Amino acid sequence: MSAIRSILPYLKGKWSYILAYMSSNLLSVIFSTLTVGMISPFLNMLFSKETPITSNPGFHLSKEGIGDYFKFLLSDFIHQHGDDKVYGLIFICIVVVIATFLKNLFLYISKYILNPLRNGIILRIRRELFSKIIQLPVGFFTNERKGDIMSRMTNDVTAVEQSITSLMELLFSTPITVIFYFVVLFMISAKLFLFLLLLLPIAGFIIGRISKSLKKNTITTQEKLGNMLSIIEETLGGLRIVKAFRAEKNRNDAFEFENKHLFNVNNHIAARRELASPMSEFLGISILSVIIWFGGNMALSKPSQLEPGTFIVFISMFYSLINPLKR
């Protein structure tokens, strides 16, 4: 929460860009959902389970309303081409290609809008940080290592720049994606969705613990980089004194100590970072397997509580939801 509060003042006057960014993400998710949704009519047509709809039912914002309206468009297209179902497959392929193109177009637009926002924030941070350094009294530089200040101006700002992208997505992109997918999954099967909600907190707790550990170790890395820069700055600034008193070994030992410590910390961070992705994927696939078992029972029950094609769509949408949930 502190990171979110610290970035909000930099977003003043940028809300029109943020609204455009959120809208582009929403449209990208909608067309992505449409692409995945084509699996059900494709399977039904492939196995001759699609019932033609000859009269226009109208478009209604519900599971049945959207499904029936699309079935009517599909049936009408097939009827116009002599009731040849091959044209139905062509229709589905055209919809998938157009939806995928629009999904990636709006995804590109969202990134195009995000980059100036991120770079503008970094511009203000660098400007304010440098202005603050100039205004500090001379006594501050006597007690504070110059290497630490240089590290904050370079390494820390670079780390902030990388964090801002993740934070902007966490604030304005991920919630839209997750909420939209949750609504669609709930519309597909409320029972299966509620069962899914029981499993997600377990995975979220484990991934959260790993992320917290990574954040703590990253702070240690920044401190060690600051110490190394201080040693380099002090050594180069007082090189004549170091040579005069033959203190090369002392300076080399000090640098080697910090360098080895940084080496160990970086290895520890890398081990945790490399663990995060496989662990997230393993937990996601584990939940997916339980969903397949639970939903499969619903689809195979007599009478069937869930159509097989619809069940495949549910699984595909949940798999698409794993990456946003990992953030």
pLDDT for residue 101: 93
pLDDT for residue 61: 67
Does residue 129 lie in a domain region? yes
CA 93 – CA 100 distance, rounded (Å): 11
Give pairs for 175-180: CB < 8 Å, separation 24+. Answer: 176/22, 176/25, 176/26, 176/29, 177/25, 177/29, 177/321, 177/324, 178/321, 178/324, 178/325, 180/26, 180/29, 180/30, 180/33
Is the pTM higher than 0.85? The answer reads: no
pLDDT for residue 216: 56
pLDDT for residue 213: 59
Question: What is the count of structural domains for the chain?
Answer: 1
Does residue 266 lie in a domain region? no
Please tell me the chain's helix, strand, coil percentages from 3-state DSSP, rounded to the nearest 5.
85, 0, 15
Query: What is the dihedral angle through the alpha carbons of 259, 264, 268, 273, rounded to the nearest 10 degrees?
Result: 30
Does residue 17 lie in a domain region? yes
Does residue 35 lie in a domain region? yes
- The answer to whether residues 148 and 230 touch, using CB atoms and an 8 Å cutoff, is yes
C-alpha gyration radius of the chain: 28
pLDDT for residue 109: 93
Does residue 80 lie in a domain region? yes
**Under-50 pLDDT residues of the chain:** none
Does residue 2 lie in a domain region? yes
Query: Which residues span the domain enclosing 60?
Result: 1-172
pLDDT for residue 104: 94
Does residue 98 lie in a domain region? yes
Does residue 224 lie in a domain region? no
